[in-house]
Amino acid sequence: MSVIYGKRIRLRAVEREDVKIFYEWVNDPEVTRGLALFLPMSMTDEMNWFDSLAKRDQKEKPLAIEMRKGRNWRLIGNCGVFDFDAVNSSAELGIMIGEKNEWNKGYGTEAMLLLAGHCFETLNLNRVSLRVYSENERAKRVYEKAGFKEEGRLREAVYKRGKYDDVLIMSILRSEWAMEKKEK
């Protein structure tokens, strides 16, 4: 896969030098508030994760999210596609904008649109889904702007920061994505 370009961002393969920044993000409580991570990660954990990527199928390797900064690019997050179901032509998505200074600027929405396009146009999927904590309003707005619809709720399915929260299942179908793309 080559680099996927948007208007203000690009998605590219994750490189070893990205791991140091990922390590900072996955140990920041504000960043991990909406993620499944809940325990501190060591640099060794992150390096082992990176080393394990070589064994993954190409389509399941995470992508770095970079924003254009003048003539250069700056790493602001990562995303990926996983849990492929070849029979039903579906998969799940995940995203993390780790650079807090870049939150609420539309980069997450643009990344989700690019990632969904990659799923439908390159990977030939029919349905992509994701999970989001019900209290994560910012993420829900991002997914809705990208065309995802809530299709279910797992009640009190996650325990974080001393309380239970619901997990919402959201998805977008190829036909819905194509219709939205056509309208824009």
Please, which pLDDT band fits residue 1 given cuts at 50, 70 and 90?
A: low
Q: How far apart are the C-alpha atoms of 150 and 87, rounded to whole Å?
A: 23
CATH superfamily, region 4-183: Gcn5-related N-acetyltransferase (GNAT) (3.40.630.30)
Tens digits of per-residue pLDDT, 113-129? Answer: 999 999 999 999 999 99
> What are the residue boundaries of the structural domains of the chain, listed by start?
4-183
Is 184's pLDDT higher than 70?
Answer: no
Average pLDDT over the chain reads: 95
Q: What is the pLDDT of residues 47-99, one digit of tens each?
A: 999 999 989 999 999 999 999 999 999 999 999 999 999 999 999 999 999 99
* DSSP codes of every residue in 61-115: S-EEEEEEETTEEEEEEEEEEEEEETTTTEEEEEEEE--GGGTTSSHHHHHHHHH
Query: How far is it, in rounded angstroms, from Cα 156 to Cα 153?
Result: 9
pLDDT of residue 39: 87
Q: How many residues does the chain have?
A: 184
**CA gap 184, 173 in Å, rounded:** 17
Taking a C-beta distance cutoff of 8 angstroms, is the pair 146, 130 a contact?
no
